[in-house]
Structure 1
Protein backbone atom coordinates (compact mmCIF):
# COMPACT_ATOMS: atom_id res chain seq x y z
CA UNK A 1 0.00 0.00 0.00
CA UNK A 2 1.50 3.33 -1.08
CA UNK A 3 0.80 6.38 1.09
CA UNK A 4 1.75 9.85 -0.10
CA UNK A 5 1.94 12.10 3.02
CA UNK A 6 1.95 15.26 0.91
CA UNK A 7 -1.60 14.68 -0.36
CA UNK A 8 -3.23 14.21 3.04
CA UNK A 9 -6.08 11.90 3.91
CA UNK A 10 -9.60 12.28 2.62
CA UNK A 11 -8.80 15.44 0.71
CA UNK A 12 -7.35 17.23 3.77
CA UNK A 13 -3.87 18.58 3.39
CA UNK A 14 -1.33 19.81 5.89
CA UNK A 15 0.13 22.08 3.26
CA UNK A 16 -1.33 25.60 3.57
CA UNK A 17 -3.30 26.79 0.59
CA UNK A 18 -4.58 30.18 -0.42
CA UNK A 19 -7.99 30.42 1.14
CA UNK A 20 -9.95 32.25 3.80
CA UNK A 21 -7.09 34.30 5.25
CA UNK A 22 -6.18 35.78 1.89
CA UNK A 23 -9.82 36.26 0.95
CA UNK A 24 -10.57 38.01 4.26
CA UNK A 25 -7.62 40.35 3.84
CA UNK A 26 -8.65 41.24 0.31
CA UNK A 27 -12.34 41.67 1.15
CA UNK A 28 -11.58 43.86 4.19
CA UNK A 29 -13.17 41.50 6.74
CA UNK A 30 -10.06 41.68 8.90
CA UNK A 31 -10.63 45.41 9.35
CA UNK A 32 -13.94 44.78 11.11
CA UNK A 33 -12.01 44.63 14.37
CA UNK A 34 -11.04 48.25 13.88
CA UNK A 35 -14.58 49.23 12.89
CA UNK A 36 -15.73 48.45 16.43
CA UNK A 37 -13.48 51.20 17.77
CA UNK A 38 -14.83 53.61 15.17
CA UNK A 39 -18.43 52.70 16.10
CA UNK A 40 -17.67 53.42 19.75
CA UNK A 41 -16.16 56.76 18.80
CA UNK A 42 -19.26 57.67 16.76
CA UNK A 43 -21.54 56.60 19.61
CA UNK A 44 -19.71 58.87 22.04
CA UNK A 45 -19.64 61.91 19.74
CA UNK A 46 -22.63 61.42 17.42
CA UNK A 47 -26.19 62.71 17.73
CA UNK A 48 -27.20 59.74 19.91
CA UNK A 49 -24.29 60.20 22.30
CA UNK A 50 -24.68 60.19 26.06
CA UNK A 51 -25.55 63.75 27.17
CA UNK A 52 -22.99 65.74 29.14
CA UNK A 53 -25.43 66.05 32.07
CA UNK A 54 -25.43 62.26 32.44
CA UNK A 55 -21.63 62.16 32.46
CA UNK A 56 -21.67 64.92 35.11
CA UNK A 57 -24.09 62.89 37.23
CA UNK A 58 -21.91 59.78 36.88
CA UNK A 59 -18.82 61.76 37.90
CA UNK A 60 -20.62 63.24 40.91
CA UNK A 61 -21.89 59.80 41.98
CA UNK A 62 -18.33 58.48 41.84
CA UNK A 63 -17.12 61.39 43.96
CA UNK A 64 -19.85 60.76 46.55
CA UNK A 65 -18.99 57.06 46.68
CA UNK A 66 -15.31 57.94 47.19
CA UNK A 67 -16.26 60.38 49.99
CA UNK A 68 -18.31 57.68 51.73
CA UNK A 69 -15.48 55.17 51.41
CA UNK A 70 -13.04 57.68 52.92
CA UNK A 71 -15.40 58.00 55.92
CA UNK A 72 -15.67 54.22 56.26
CA UNK A 73 -19.27 54.14 55.06
CA UNK A 74 -21.25 52.87 52.09
CA UNK A 75 -24.81 52.64 50.84
CA UNK A 76 -26.34 49.17 50.79
CA UNK A 77 -29.37 48.34 48.66
CA UNK A 78 -31.70 45.56 49.80
CA UNK A 79 -35.19 44.30 49.14
CA UNK A 80 -37.60 44.99 51.99
CA UNK A 81 -38.81 41.64 53.34
CA UNK A 82 -42.47 42.71 53.62
CA UNK A 83 -43.02 45.07 50.71
CA UNK A 84 -40.47 43.55 48.30
CA UNK A 85 -39.40 47.11 47.39
CA UNK A 86 -35.85 48.36 47.12
CA UNK A 87 -34.60 50.10 50.26
CA UNK A 88 -31.25 51.73 50.97
CA UNK A 89 -29.24 51.97 54.16
CA UNK A 90 -26.11 53.82 55.17
CA UNK A 91 -23.76 51.25 56.72
CA UNK A 92 -20.26 51.27 58.15
CA UNK A 93 -17.34 49.15 56.93
CA UNK A 94 -18.50 46.28 59.14
CA UNK A 95 -22.00 46.35 57.60
CA UNK A 96 -23.68 47.81 60.70
CA UNK A 97 -26.71 49.98 59.97
CA UNK A 98 -26.09 53.67 60.62
CA UNK A 99 -29.44 54.90 59.27
CA UNK A 100 -32.03 54.18 56.58
CA UNK A 101 -31.71 56.33 53.46
CA UNK A 102 -34.68 57.31 51.31
CA UNK A 103 -34.22 56.56 47.62
CA UNK A 104 -35.17 60.17 46.90
CA UNK A 105 -32.14 61.24 48.89
CA UNK A 106 -29.93 59.10 46.67
CA UNK A 107 -31.50 59.54 43.24
CA UNK A 108 -33.26 62.87 43.62
CA UNK A 109 -36.80 63.54 44.76
CA UNK A 110 -38.46 62.75 41.44
CA UNK A 111 -37.61 59.05 41.58
CA UNK A 112 -38.88 57.86 44.97
CA UNK A 113 -42.63 57.08 44.94
CA UNK A 114 -42.56 56.55 48.72
CA UNK A 115 -40.18 59.09 50.28
CA UNK A 116 -40.54 57.60 53.78
CA UNK A 117 -37.89 54.92 54.32
CA UNK A 118 -39.27 51.46 55.02
CA UNK A 119 -38.76 50.28 58.57
Structure 2
Protein backbone atom coordinates (compact mmCIF):
# COMPACT_ATOMS: atom_id res chain seq x y z
CA UNK A 1 0.00 0.00 0.00
CA UNK A 2 1.47 3.35 -1.05
CA UNK A 3 0.84 6.42 1.06
CA UNK A 4 1.80 9.84 -0.26
CA UNK A 5 2.33 12.04 2.79
CA UNK A 6 3.28 15.04 0.65
CA UNK A 7 -0.29 15.75 -0.36
CA UNK A 8 -1.67 16.05 3.14
CA UNK A 9 -5.28 15.70 4.03
CA UNK A 10 -7.47 17.71 1.73
CA UNK A 11 -11.08 18.78 1.91
CA UNK A 12 -12.14 15.69 -0.03
CA UNK A 13 -10.98 13.37 2.74
CA UNK A 14 -13.85 14.27 5.05
CA UNK A 15 -17.51 13.75 4.24
CA UNK A 16 -19.54 16.89 3.74
CA UNK A 17 -23.14 17.34 4.76
CA UNK A 18 -25.54 16.82 1.89
CA UNK A 19 -26.69 19.94 0.10
CA UNK A 20 -30.35 20.78 0.34
CA UNK A 21 -32.43 20.90 -2.79
CA UNK A 22 -34.12 24.13 -3.71
CA UNK A 23 -37.56 24.53 -2.22
CA UNK A 24 -40.36 23.82 -4.66
CA UNK A 25 -42.81 26.68 -5.09
CA UNK A 26 -46.10 26.21 -3.27
CA UNK A 27 -48.75 25.43 -5.89
CA UNK A 28 -51.44 24.10 -3.60
CA UNK A 29 -51.27 20.68 -5.30
CA UNK A 30 -49.43 18.78 -2.59
CA UNK A 31 -51.21 15.47 -1.95
CA UNK A 32 -53.81 16.28 -4.59
CA UNK A 33 -56.49 13.61 -4.77
CA UNK A 34 -57.74 12.39 -8.12
CA UNK A 35 -61.24 11.00 -8.41
CA UNK A 36 -60.60 7.90 -10.51
CA UNK A 37 -64.30 7.16 -10.97
CA UNK A 38 -64.82 10.65 -12.40
CA UNK A 39 -61.80 10.29 -14.69
CA UNK A 40 -63.12 6.96 -15.98
CA UNK A 41 -66.59 8.44 -16.54
CA UNK A 42 -65.13 11.31 -18.57
CA UNK A 43 -62.99 8.91 -20.58
CA UNK A 44 -65.94 6.60 -21.34
CA UNK A 45 -68.44 9.32 -22.26
CA UNK A 46 -66.18 11.77 -24.07
CA UNK A 47 -66.13 12.29 -27.83
CA UNK A 48 -63.03 10.12 -28.19
CA UNK A 49 -64.39 7.20 -26.17
CA UNK A 50 -63.95 3.61 -27.34
CA UNK A 51 -67.07 2.52 -29.28
CA UNK A 52 -69.30 -0.20 -27.79
CA UNK A 53 -68.70 -2.45 -30.82
CA UNK A 54 -64.98 -2.51 -30.01
CA UNK A 55 -65.68 -3.47 -26.38
CA UNK A 56 -67.97 -6.25 -27.67
CA UNK A 57 -65.21 -7.53 -29.98
CA UNK A 58 -62.67 -7.47 -27.14
CA UNK A 59 -65.04 -9.41 -24.89
CA UNK A 60 -65.73 -11.99 -27.59
CA UNK A 61 -62.00 -12.42 -28.32
CA UNK A 62 -61.38 -13.03 -24.62
CA UNK A 63 -64.12 -15.66 -24.54
CA UNK A 64 -62.68 -17.43 -27.57
CA UNK A 65 -59.19 -17.41 -26.04
CA UNK A 66 -60.61 -18.88 -22.82
CA UNK A 67 -62.45 -21.59 -24.81
CA UNK A 68 -59.24 -22.54 -26.62
CA UNK A 69 -57.30 -22.58 -23.36
CA UNK A 70 -59.81 -24.95 -21.78
CA UNK A 71 -59.22 -27.32 -24.71
CA UNK A 72 -55.45 -27.02 -24.29
CA UNK A 73 -55.03 -25.00 -27.46
CA UNK A 74 -54.01 -21.49 -28.48
CA UNK A 75 -53.50 -19.40 -31.60
CA UNK A 76 -49.86 -18.47 -32.20
CA UNK A 77 -48.79 -15.63 -34.50
CA UNK A 78 -45.43 -15.82 -36.25
CA UNK A 79 -43.61 -14.22 -39.14
CA UNK A 80 -43.21 -16.45 -42.18
CA UNK A 81 -39.49 -17.01 -42.72
CA UNK A 82 -39.65 -16.54 -46.51
CA UNK A 83 -42.29 -13.86 -47.01
CA UNK A 84 -41.97 -11.97 -43.70
CA UNK A 85 -45.78 -11.91 -43.52
CA UNK A 86 -47.77 -12.65 -40.38
CA UNK A 87 -49.08 -16.20 -40.20
CA UNK A 88 -51.20 -17.91 -37.56
CA UNK A 89 -51.30 -21.48 -36.32
CA UNK A 90 -53.49 -23.43 -33.95
CA UNK A 91 -51.13 -25.03 -31.44
CA UNK A 92 -51.51 -27.44 -28.54
CA UNK A 93 -50.40 -26.69 -24.98
CA UNK A 94 -46.88 -27.94 -25.83
CA UNK A 95 -46.59 -25.52 -28.77
CA UNK A 96 -46.96 -28.19 -31.48
CA UNK A 97 -48.74 -26.94 -34.58
CA UNK A 98 -52.11 -28.63 -35.09
CA UNK A 99 -52.98 -26.72 -38.25
CA UNK A 100 -52.37 -23.40 -39.98
CA UNK A 101 -55.13 -20.82 -39.53
CA UNK A 102 -56.05 -18.22 -42.16
CA UNK A 103 -55.97 -14.67 -40.79
CA UNK A 104 -59.42 -14.12 -42.27
CA UNK A 105 -60.68 -16.97 -40.09
CA UNK A 106 -59.38 -15.14 -37.02
CA UNK A 107 -60.11 -11.52 -37.85
CA UNK A 108 -63.01 -11.91 -40.26
CA UNK A 109 -63.23 -10.73 -43.82
CA UNK A 110 -65.29 -7.57 -43.39
CA UNK A 111 -63.88 -4.67 -45.39
CA UNK A 112 -62.13 -1.92 -43.45
CA UNK A 113 -64.73 0.84 -42.84
CA UNK A 114 -62.07 3.55 -43.06
CA UNK A 115 -59.39 2.49 -45.56
CA UNK A 116 -56.16 4.46 -45.60
CA UNK A 117 -56.19 7.27 -48.12
Q: Same fold (TM over 0.5)?
A: yes
Deviations 1:42-77 (A, max 9, x none): 122212100000000000000000000000000000
The answer as to 2:54 corresponding to 1:54 is yes
Which structure 2 residues correspond to residues 7-18 of structure 1 after superposition, within 5 A?
Answer: none
CA distance in 2, matches of 1:29, 1:47: 31
* Whole-angstrom CA distance in 2 between matches of 1:54 and 1:24: 40
Structure 1 stretches of 4+ moved >2 Å: 28-31, 35-41
TM-score by length of 2: 0.67
- TM-score, reference length from structure 1: 0.66
Distance 2:70 2:58 in 1: 18
Higher fraction of helix: 1
1:1-119 counterparts in 2 under 5 A?
20=24, 23-25=26-28, 28=29, 30-31=31-32, 34=34, 38-110=38-110
SS in 2 for 1:34: coil
Structure 1 portions without partners, runs of 5+: 1-8, 13-18, 112-119
- Aligned CA RMSD, in angstroms, stands at 2.8
Q: Which one has the largest radius of gyration?
A: 2
Work out the number of aligned pairs and report it: 93
